[in-house]
Structure 1
């Protein structure tokens, strides 16, 4: 779940003493073998992607998606355990002595009505967990993630003679609401199953052309908090506002005042975001309601900044209500949906990107500053396991080039109803890169 904002002022966590590893003489042979497999598998993988794209499921509802990809890896010989942390799945393949490597895909889609116009567009509508009728779309690319995950499994099984160790593939639910990784960990992910020495994941990038990948060393993604505010007033007739306490006006004041937290209370060198993503109140033109509901997302990169922002939100809401002679608002920080920052292990990231540069070329492996998106993949790293998440280019090269021209429209972001990754080349590079990354960590002696 990403909200793009470049952190140009934040220094990257780079350790100059960690030199990139020497070139792997076996890489060319491995890559040739992977490409040969993809030549026969890509058509079927694209069909799988289209099926998943047309059949999206919201967070905590991913039963069919989990079952489909579980079946794909079970027939490859993996031992598959369903219902881990909800609809999560764990697939284990032991292939001799060696490291244990985890590869994660997420499963869930978003409450977005698709407007891409592609022939396999989602037409699914469901009730979300709050009872709202909504369209559903893989607007964050999790369908690409699942497809690359299956493709990587196929490639690694076909190339078992070229690596050794234990492969743990997990399909994680509820990434979009920040609870899936925690649920799987609490359900014994690293106790019931082999604890990994490394954990890898890829994520689609909606503003990077196919054939390229991007990465961040160290801090990659931000803390994410979800805040609900219930603004209270005294309702009445819209023609007699003097007899009411108008929560709509009060909510508007609070929204504007919240913008001063980042602009006037947080050090400009500490990235932070406070966004009001939803406002709901009232039923009719001429009725002043009793209450208005606000929904906020809060992003930060330091725990101290996070603490300050959350306290400031409560302070501002209370002060605004007091000034309007209104009841005190209810401010709720939903700790169930808190997602901690994602911090890539520097050594692992450098090793992985060095391999990618060898076959993609230096120009196609882009280091980028962290962004204010959030990802609960970071929770696996909080357990002490080295993690690396990298970002996969998914945009047609001509469209990408056109978007760079003066006056051109900005490409759709992740979570947009218009985000449409280019399937075949995106999947091919995704499987290529992830397969090589895993094999590089699991060399056969």
Structure 2
């Protein structure tokens, strides 16, 4: 069977439409998502002494988790620990049996990933113990590899994009803390990856434009679409030697 020569990809980002941005080498972080269920003991809200309150437990855990990045990760190693969901209870006068939170974690290297993961598990388990609750259920349900742009192929593909779009339209950018699953495809195939970003708003400054995955996300159709088509074709034709 024919074997792919490379994996090429592109993604919109909050930057000026008509522009392309790339990173050579490590472009995006590793990512992990965890679902955590704390099990307490429910009771009527007027009798808290008969409960093990999982909401209080989870709230302490959320606060404590903020110290992982600020106090356990070296400033030279970037990391993000975000608690994105918190679900517990159905009635204001009833202490529930369980509380559930979900975490999203971004790290730059496997070593930092292991350190942060160990700290998270330690904190969650210790907070449950401190509340007299059972050990929490911690499930990692999403995991993404580091997005690594091939250091040899990426510059030549970007030169092809500059030839197609104009030198001023293609610029280098710093690595992002965001993550993508496209790296898994390149790793599985054992081929180089080149992944770049398309501007998709009218403002020039990053802070002027809504971030991805927000309610305000609404890319302008043009020149975003045309730029993306031309960039993709230029990259593909370059890799194919045409």
State the Cα deviation string for residues 349-376 of structure 1 (Å, max 9, x = none).
1001112223433332121111111111
SS of corresponding position for 1:424: coil
SS of corresponding position for 1:258: helix
Residue 415 of structure 1 corresponds to which residue in structure 2?
213
Equivalent pair of 1:279/1:293 in contact (CA under 8 Å): yes
The one of 195, 200, 218 aligned to 1:394? 200
Q: Report the RMSD for the aligned CA atoms in angstroms.
A: 1.6
* Pairwise CA distance, 1:198: 1.5
Paired residue total: 241
The one of 105, 123, 133 aligned to 1:298? 105
Residue 431 of structure 1 corresponds to which residue in structure 2?
229
Residue 154 of structure 2 corresponds to which residue in structure 1?
349
The one of 185, 192, 202 aligned to 1:380? 185
Map 1:51-200 to 2 at 5 A: 194-200=2-8
State the Cα deviation string for residues 138-165 of structure 1 (Å, max 9, x = none).
xxxxxxxxxxxxxxxxxxxxxxxxxxxx
- Structure 1: distance between partners of 2:166 and 2:221: 22
- Structure 2: distance between partners of 1:443 and 1:340: 29
* Pairwise CA distance, 1:411: 2.0
The two structures have a TM-score, normalised by structure 2, of 0.94
Equivalent pair of 1:342/1:381 in contact (CA under 8 Å): no
Equivalent pair of 1:345/1:388 in contact (CA under 8 Å): yes
Unaligned runs of 5+ residues in structure 1 are 1-192
Equivalent pair of 2:5/2:239 in contact (CA under 8 Å): no
The one of 236, 246, 250 aligned to 2:43? 236
Equivalent pair of 2:150/2:193 in contact (CA under 8 Å): yes
- Structure 2: distance between partners of 1:438 and 1:332: 39
Q: Does residue 1:440 correspond to 2:238, yes or no?
A: yes
Residue 121 of structure 2 corresponds to which residue in structure 1?
314
Equivalent pair of 2:21/2:198 in contact (CA under 8 Å): yes
Map 1:227-376 to 2 at 5 A: 227-334=34-141, 337-376=142-181
* Pairwise CA distance, 1:426: 0.8
Equivalent pair of 1:343/1:381 in contact (CA under 8 Å): no
The two structures have a TM-score, normalised by structure 1, of 0.52
- Structure 2: distance between partners of 1:315 and 1:209: 43
- Structure 2: distance between partners of 1:290 and 1:255: 18
Q: Which has the higher strand share?
A: 2
Equivalent pair of 2:15/2:209 in contact (CA under 8 Å): no
Unaligned runs of 5+ residues in structure 2 are none
SS of corresponding position for 1:310: helix
- Structure 1: distance between partners of 2:184 and 2:86: 30
* Pairwise CA distance, 1:256: 0.7
